[in-house]
Structure 1
Amino acid sequence: MNILRRYTRQTLRVNRRRTLFTCMGIIISVAMITAVSVFSTSFLDYLKRKAIFETGDWELAYSELSPQEIELIKTDNRVAELFSADDLGYAELAGGQNEFKPYWFVRALDDEGFANLGIQLITGRLPENENELLISEHVGYNGGVEFQLGQTVTLQLGERILSEDPDHPLNQSNPFDPEQPEMIVKTTERSYTVVGVMKRSELEYRWAPGYTAFTKQAETTALENPVFYLKFKNASQAPQKNFPQLESKLYPNFAVNENVLRFSGPFWDNTYFFMVASAATLTLIIILTGSIFLIYNAFAISLAERSRQFGLLASIGATARQKFWCVVQEGLMIALIAVPIGLFAGWCGMAVTLKIVNPMLQSMNFISADVPLEPVISLSAVGLTVVCSVVMILLSCWLPALRAARMTPIQAIRQSQDIKLKRHHLWLGRGVRKVIGLEGELALKNIQRSGRKAWSTILSLAVSLILFTSVSSILTMMIQAVGLTYQDELSDAWVTDYSSRSLIEQKDSFEEIRQLDSVASAQRITITYAVMDTANLPLDSAWDTINDPYPVILFALDDQTYAQILAENHVEAAAMHSSSKEMLHGIVLNRYRSEISENGQRRYFDIPYFNTLPDELTLHIGDAGEVLTVKPLALAAQMDLYSQDIQYSGQLSILIPASDLEVILTEAEGSRTYNDKLYLRAKKGRQEAMVKQIDEIGKQNLTHSFSYYSPVQNQKDEKTLLIVVSIFVYGFITLICLVCLVNVINTISTNMELRRKEFAMLRSVGMAEKQFNRMIRLESIFYGLAAAVIGIPISVVLIHLLHYNLMSGSFLFSFDMPWMMILGGSLILILMVMAMMNYATHKIRRESIIETLKEEN
């Protein structure tokens, strides 16, 4: 075995070029496997670090423990860290403007608590003693009370109870209800100096009645209402009931930091873990399948080149087992070189990629600006990468090793497994000769005779073409899909505010937004829903089978906007309001808009509802089906309104004055289901500035009834996400194609090297340089055409399937086969093979014919 090991090492040294190309293919494959492992591990690590940043680095929390129970936890060898917080109680917030958060809630922390409870300091510093206080910025923008650093705050801290139930103190999980009287009892006066401001604590429930503030635990004072936070040495132990003695305290005095644990492994909440693991596994299967196939070709070529050598080994007594392990050892020796380099290259590549995409992901708030996505790899990930890489190499060389083991001396000398000709090859060659000439016949016979080596080259080229066209098509479809979402945006943002249920009351937030210097114009539009009786209406013939009742959307406009619509439709302003409460005056948008999409472009066509203006429309509104009569003032085909719902609702749209609808909704019980929005258009180039200003107004809103949406920001995020996806996808396809390219170069260069005597013989019988070059070019074309014949049908089927599965369910653009991309990819393959064959034969052309014929390959 030592002799064969030395023989294998010597073979690798002698065939440096083949060894180099094989190593390059394995390095790229291992780098891709490493990149998948690094990205998966890094993404889970990011999610965990983000959860720790927001909620703290702890796993379990207990409250109301006795000294014996506390000692039980402290002495448990599974607990890595234990720290505490002391709930000092509630105090009234003087001047607070949020009726649902009228209190302070003060907690005292030790040093570990400040470090591990997710406190995000904005300005100032952390408290250093029990007389200093760290407050939340939420007090200012939500509570309406501003504090300065250094300001002294005196609080009457105590327990919060309901007047009707004084025996059960309330906590932060119990929201404040203005209709249930509360009081604070057992108060103690304490004075604090404000030393810092932090972001709102994620430990504070959204419905919590108190603004959380932190002070330092007094070293000499016993804890009043302690909460103990635990961190385990192994996170997998956290979900278990580790302390049976505390089982009675699990509810409600027990908490689990699910945000951290769900990203610590599959033992808690395996949704995220298996989501990432499934995506990584699918990617690894694709990489391993392609890499095994391509690296297998390298070993198959090596076996074909050395078949006579294995025959000689068999003739001098080498057993089948020895020949088998000779090929396997070759694979393992190459792995010793290629796998470490591939690990390093994959790590560096993913580190650079994450550095590039980090700012993009942060700009669209896909990842937190405070917690960057950093490259991380664990020992288990390294081990998995090494195992996958070694398995990939062993599987690649397994079949060639079996063929080497079964090879007899006679088979090796005759090379009957490598060179085969069949009957149909003869007449096919003669037919090609008549059309193209002798050079074409020789080129075709060279491919036919090469057998496995030719098929290895053809399949490698076909795989490259399939990957290039299918992945490029996916990205093209994604760009078309995103492009569809960009069209026909009628407003730059819209805002909702349910602080008031009135349709005509001037809401403070709406008025403040209207006055922004970035806002060009605004329309307040309220939507409510009804159904219409269709009997005896002058409907267009297209609606012969219309449903009865038919759905209707009522759009209530402010009087100013409604007056403009009346003027556009040549209706007198005096007709705006009806004299009867039982009847509304309205304008009917007389069209049903249908859309079709072709080649990523939307086209619309309109179908009218009515042939003539109806006298009146009978509607039923609300849960009780309250009857509402609308007198149409005009049939409009188009109007300049900012709401997407009006233009593309797919239902009959009726525009009415908001002041009239207000009366109807007030009197009709159960009919107050509506959407009240302010639609905005920004001044030119001020869209992003407007969104930022609206966001600031939202932070100052005290009722949690305010929200906004910006299609401009959404489009920007989608474009950025598309760029990020393109980086990863094109990086993946580039690496896969590099593996294919390396394999093709290895195949062709080795094939050309093995045919040196053949080329010398052709030149010796008078083949001119021009004829030789033409033969090589035709052989390159045949390789490319054969790859295209295999790759194009598979690519077409895959592209159809991708379009059907990924796009047809959500988007309506028609299928457009990317023939130019497919034909361009095929042409690139032919040119690539031609360039490689010319390069491989360049040195051979300058060799001496006699010396080449004398060599024994």
Structure 2
Amino acid sequence: MNIVNKVTFRHLKQNKRRTLVTIIGTIISVAMVTAVATLGMSFMDLFQRETMDRNGEWHVAYHEVDKAQLEVIKAEDNTEAVSLSRDRGYAWLEGSPANRYKPYLFVKDLDEEGFERFSVNVKEGRLPQTENEIVISEEIAKNAQVSYQIGDELTLEIGERFAEGQASEQLLSQTTSLVMNEEGENVETLINQEERSYTIVGVIESPHWEPSWSPGYTVISYVDPASVTEADPVDASVVLADVSNALFAEAEALAQAHNISNVSYHSELLRYYGVTDQDNLHRTLYSLLGIIIAVIVIGSVALIFNAFAISVSERSRHLGMLSSVGATKRQKRNSVFFEGFLIGLVSIPLGLLAGVVGIGITFFFINGVLQEALYLGNGLRLVVTPGSLLTAAGISVATIFISTYIPALRASRISAIDAIRQSQDVKLSGKAVKTSFLIRNVFGVEADIGLKNLKRHKRRYQVTVFSLVISIVLFLTVAFFTDSLVKSVDMSQDGVDFDIRVQQTQETEESRQLLDEIPSLGDVTNYTLGKEIYLSAMVDETKIAEELKQIPDQLEEGEYRYAMNVIALDEPSLTAYAEQVGIDPEQLMEEGNLKAIAVDTISYTDYDEGKFVETKAIQTAVGETFDLFYEEWIGDQAEKIDAISVEVLALTDEQPMGAVMNGLGSLNIVVSEQVFDGLTDEFTNMPMTTTLHLQTSDPATTQEEIDELGGSSFYVYNVHQMRQQEQQMVLIMRVFTYGFITLITLISVANIFNTISTSIALRKREFAMLKSIGMTPKSFNKMINYESIFYGVKALLYGLPLSILVMYLIHRSVNHTFAYDFSLPWLSMLYVVIAVFAIVGAAMLYSIAKIRKENIIDTLKQENI
């Protein structure tokens, strides 16, 4: 260690407080980067495990492969494991099932690898070992009239589901619910049946990958790899050793080379590996990742840079002394780099440890709550990889280097005379400290002195303002990113906001009475009873959605035919919905008042562009009317019948519970039951549906209770599983992103307090001088308050425009996949304005309180603080 480095090391030891503050700031920065990396890896791990439990562990599936093709797939270098499966088909469940929407057994074959990869959990007995053995789902025991026992022989006529009116090639699968007619009767038949006999050897939990609305209870047999032939092929689900974007091209090439006609990908699971075949989504992910990493690095640089900038300002006399005894520019510059090296040597390991331990402790406390609130089968586990630690360490090293570079250059330029005069920090020329006469006349002499003080200490003033600007940009950027992420997740989901749908298939007194009784069931927490009819309206081309203007051939004499879905809600639901939208519900329910709420914002998937789009369904305004009509077909001719004119009372982007978000050229309008009944009374032949949507604390029990009520004129559709998955995704995203906001906020506040308190500490002699010439405590406090205001105003003037620019860049990145209008987070911006002045004021008051009681004479004698 050379003499300059020894002197630098000794200076760090002598200035323990400043050194400790710098180390703590650097540790926080490193911990932030580490925490974000660890949090991201841990959440991706959770998503992967949840998806594997729900849909099986596989990456690529080759369908209908024979033995030769199977051997080729297994021989691939990137193949880690192959599980075999075969959907045998459906057989009728004996007796009359308690759940009339599940009349089938669904027979699926798996091999030993498949039992593991598809999470088949045995409750009693064992798994099948031969092709004539079978395990049954525990759910069957609750619904079958025949009691199945382990050891029983089961003879099934297995076939394919077919419904009248459909082509034979459109056979129905487990993802398609039971097809019923208007009387609630099953209209399906089984075709291509084949008799097979099995011995029941075990009972399994109902598989997670069995949809709640599927018509068949899953029973699983065994597929022997040796029995695979061209006449009896299987599906091969492949787990890859290396999951990368190259897998799509490799799988397609293999399929083409060996005449495999159908290849599918586990898109949901691959997404959580960061792998997708959609270029738009790639661009979105990488551009967002780049912006967020840049925000983190800039925030970290700001935090550490401030510490080193203030350090150089404080060490100016020390560096001048080194210059006076012959230290070169290079030696002075390297002294700052050496200081950064020592700080990093201590801070980086501690920061890595703090980030990992902090996330681990967080998981320990929130895991139980998350699992209970989000119905997760798995908990968050701490995932720390060498790659994430090395990445965090590398970013931290680069951050410290960038943070020390400018102070190091500044240090190299400090001469002995400048250091003694302190001319590099204090500007004494008249031009440098000139202020407007308005400041003194409007705000008083204290404000004028405060502004001159800031101008005199221009570098410290700039460092503090820079710290505030970075904090503003950090907070607003992350808040906007959070909103964008949650909105993107919302747009990509199906919008299922209910657990059970009860749809009336036949308008009878019995069915209406049952629909009135169901909401009173014990586990029902919320409900909406709605009626729907589909009408039309001709809309002028100037008012149609912008996207529709691109297809002029759809216009009829300058108008576009809109599909109008008229929804009537029961009175309690309508009242709640109207209040949510922000209008008086009485305006909708007044006698003869033909008014409606129009849901003018829609989301749809643009398959040509490969993106999700949110747009205005129609360019209308409150007070405009729609002339609704419907067409009655008489033979081959359609007769247009005017129905009603409805005035728009309010516009909203909030859908009522259970409403389907339609695509372009359609509009949902919500009316009162009085308006709706007037329509149906006048036009009795219009098709109408009555639907009850339920939210319930126990969907399975609620469905059983509905079935016990009886009645064949309505259809029950349980979508709790789908809703649960959507809620999990959205809520987990909120936990992740709001946790990130909290972290950023705390770091920003710490950064501001550190910068301002250090700056105030370096101004002790200045404050002592002002007090020595007669400045009263009241005037002194007034001066400090004005300084706080100047800091805040200057920071907002720079911070808000920069934040808007970064937010717009994030919006452009997201728009590659999720297209919606850019809007500023006004509420977050208001919070920032309030917070900036509150934090700056608190930091100034805190710092002043620490030096208030110091003796004026002793403070004036101090050469360096």
Q: By the TM > 0.5 criterion, same fold?
A: yes
Of residues 736, 749, 759, the one that matches 2:761 is 749
| 1:590 aligned partner | 593
Q: How many Å apart are 1:423 and its aligned residue?
A: 1.5
Q: How many Å apart are 1:421 and its aligned residue?
A: 1.8
1:12-47 CA-partner distances (Å, limit 9, x unpaired):
222221111112222222222222222322232222
Partner Cα separation in structure 2 for residue 64 and residue 817 of structure 1: 54
Partner Cα separation in structure 2 for residue 461 and residue 520 of structure 1: 46
C-alpha distance 776-128 of structure 1, shift in aligned 2 (>3 A): farther
Which runs of 5 or more structure 1 residues have no equivalent in the other structure? 480-491, 535-546, 559-585, 597-604, 611-616, 666-671, 681-686
Q: Check whether the contact 1:471–1:733 (CA below 8 A) recurs between aligned residues.
A: no
| 1:460 aligned partner | 467
Partner Cα separation in structure 2 for residue 759 and residue 522 of structure 1: 66
Q: How many Å apart are 1:783 and its aligned residue?
A: 2.6
Q: Check whether the contact 2:299–2:474 (CA below 8 A) recurs between aligned residues.
A: no
1:81 matched to 2:81: yes
Instruction: Provide the secondary structure at the position in 2 that maps to 1:677.
Output: strand
Partner Cα separation in structure 1 for residue 250 and residue 147 of structure 2: 44
Partner Cα separation in structure 2 for residue 557 and residue 442 of structure 1: 66
Of residues 836, 844, 853, the one that matches 2:847 is 836
Of residues 204, 225, 237, the one that matches 1:197 is 204
Q: How many Å apart are 1:735 and its aligned residue?
A: 2.0
1:393 matched to 2:404: no
Of residues 365, 386, 392, the one that matches 1:379 is 386
| 1:328 aligned partner | 337
Partner Cα separation in structure 2 for residue 388 and residue 732 of structure 1: 17
Of residues 237, 242, 245, the one that matches 1:234 is 242
1:262-661 aligned at under 5 Å gives the runs: 262-266=271-275, 268=277, 278-354=287-363, 358=367, 365=374, 368-424=375-431, 446-461=453-468, 496-497=501-502, 500=505, 506=511, 510=515, 513=518, 516=521, 526-530=531-535, 589-592=592-595, 620-622=630-632, 625-626=638-639, 648-649=670-671, 653-656=675-678
Instruction: Provide the secondary structure at the position in 1 that maps to 2:260.
Output: coil
Instruction: Provide the secondary structure at the position in 1 that maps to 2:273.
Output: coil
Instruction: Provide the secondary structure at the position in 2 that maps to 1:370.
Output: coil
1:785 matched to 2:789: yes
Partner Cα separation in structure 2 for residue 429 and residue 648 of structure 1: 59
| 1:251 aligned partner | 260
1:794-821 CA-partner distances (Å, limit 9, x unpaired):
6777899999999xx9999998899798
Partner Cα separation in structure 2 for residue 170 and residue 531 of structure 1: 33
| 2:574 aligned partner | none
Letter in 1 for 2:204: V
Q: How many Å apart are 1:784 and its aligned residue?
A: 0.6
| 1:733 aligned partner | 745
Q: Check whether the contact 1:557–1:656 (CA below 8 A) recurs between aligned residues.
A: no
Partner Cα separation in structure 2 for residue 222 and residue 478 of structure 1: 46
Q: How many Å apart are 1:370 and its aligned residue?
A: 0.7
Partner Cα separation in structure 2 for residue 20 and residue 456 of structure 1: 19
Letter in 2 for 1:676: T
Partner Cα separation in structure 1 for residue 864 and residue 754 of structure 2: 27
1:770-781 aligned at under 5 Å gives the runs: 771=775, 777-781=781-785
Instruction: Provide the secondary structure at the position in 2 that maps to 1:17.
Output: helix
1:127-183 CA-partner distances (Å, limit 9, x unpaired):
264475322356567x76665553624224778799xxxx99999699899788723
Count of residue pairs brought into register by the alignment = 745
Partner Cα separation in structure 2 for residue 317 and residue 396 of structure 1: 26
Q: Check whether the contact 1:96–1:145 (CA below 8 A) recurs between aligned residues.
A: yes
Q: Check whether the contact 1:594–1:650 (CA below 8 A) recurs between aligned residues.
A: no
Letter in 2 for 1:212: T
Partner Cα separation in structure 2 for residue 433 and residue 159 of structure 1: 92
Q: Check whether the contact 1:420–1:451 (CA below 8 A) recurs between aligned residues.
A: yes
| 1:578 aligned partner | none
| 1:581 aligned partner | none
1:519-555 CA-partner distances (Å, limit 9, x unpaired):
7999965332446999xxxxxxxxxxxx999998878
Q: How many Å apart are 1:495 and its aligned residue?
A: 6.7
Letter in 2 for 1:184: Q
Instruction: Provide the secondary structure at the position in 1 that maps to 2:199.
Output: strand
C-alpha distance 456-196 of structure 1, shift in aligned 2 (>3 A): same
C-alpha distance 151-658 of structure 1, shift in aligned 2 (>3 A): farther
Q: Check whether the contact 2:446–2:782 (CA below 8 A) recurs between aligned residues.
A: yes
Partner Cα separation in structure 2 for residue 310 and residue 817 of structure 1: 44
Instruction: Provide the secondary structure at the position in 2 that maps to 1:337.
Output: helix
Instruction: Provide the secondary structure at the position in 1 that maps to 2:425.
Output: coil
Partner Cα separation in structure 1 for residue 528 and residue 864 of structure 2: 89
Q: Check whether the contact 2:85–2:108 (CA below 8 A) recurs between aligned residues.
A: no
| 1:41 aligned partner | 41
Instruction: Provide the secondary structure at the position in 2 that maps to 1:678.
Output: strand
Q: Check whether the contact 1:420–1:448 (CA below 8 A) recurs between aligned residues.
A: yes
Partner Cα separation in structure 1 for residue 402 and residue 121 of structure 2: 51
| 1:119 aligned partner | 120
Partner Cα separation in structure 2 for residue 508 and residue 435 of structure 1: 74
Q: How many Å apart are 1:455 and its aligned residue?
A: 2.9
Partner Cα separation in structure 2 for residue 609 and residue 226 of structure 1: 58
1:670-692 CA-partner distances (Å, limit 9, x unpaired):
xx4x4422378xxxxxx755877
1:177-208 CA-partner distances (Å, limit 9, x unpaired):
978872334x4533224x21322452x68998
1:593-650 CA-partner distances (Å, limit 9, x unpaired):
6799xxxxxxxx997999xxxxxx9954457654658899xx9x9xxxx999999549
1:311-358 CA-partner distances (Å, limit 9, x unpaired):
443444443333322212221221122222222222333344455555
1:495-518 CA-partner distances (Å, limit 9, x unpaired):
754573657783897477267357
Letter in 2 for 1:788: G
| 1:212 aligned partner | 218
1:57-100 CA-partner distances (Å, limit 9, x unpaired):
23334566666655555555543334445777765543376699
Letter in 2 for 1:16: K
| 1:8 aligned partner | 8
C-alpha distance 781-458 of structure 1, shift in aligned 2 (>3 A): farther
Q: How many Å apart are 1:453 and its aligned residue?
A: 1.7
Task: Pick which of 413-422 and 382-391 moved more.
Answer: 413-422
| 1:565 aligned partner | none
Q: Check whether the contact 2:524–2:697 (CA below 8 A) recurs between aligned residues.
A: no
| 1:105 aligned partner | 107
Partner Cα separation in structure 2 for residue 169 and residue 439 of structure 1: 83
Letter in 2 for 1:845: N
Instruction: Provide the secondary structure at the position in 2 that maps to 1:12.
Output: helix
C-alpha distance 338-222 of structure 1, shift in aligned 2 (>3 A): same
Which runs of 5 or more structure 2 residues have no equivalent in the other structure? 163-167, 180-186, 487-496, 540-558, 571-588, 600-620, 650-655, 660-667, 812-819
Q: How many Å apart are 1:387 and its aligned residue?
A: 2.0
Partner Cα separation in structure 2 for residue 374 and residue 821 of structure 1: 34
Q: How many Å apart are 1:462 and its aligned residue?
A: 5.9
Letter in 1 for 2:792: A
CA RMSD across the alignment: 6.0
Instruction: Provide the secondary structure at the position in 2 that maps to 1:423.
Output: coil
Letter in 2 for 1:677: T
Task: Pick which of 525-534 and 385-394 moved more.
Answer: 525-534
Of residues 691, 708, 723, the one that matches 1:677 is 691
C-alpha distance 529-191 of structure 1, shift in aligned 2 (>3 A): closer
C-alpha distance 592-659 of structure 1, shift in aligned 2 (>3 A): closer
Larger radius of gyration: 1
Letter in 2 for 1:327: V
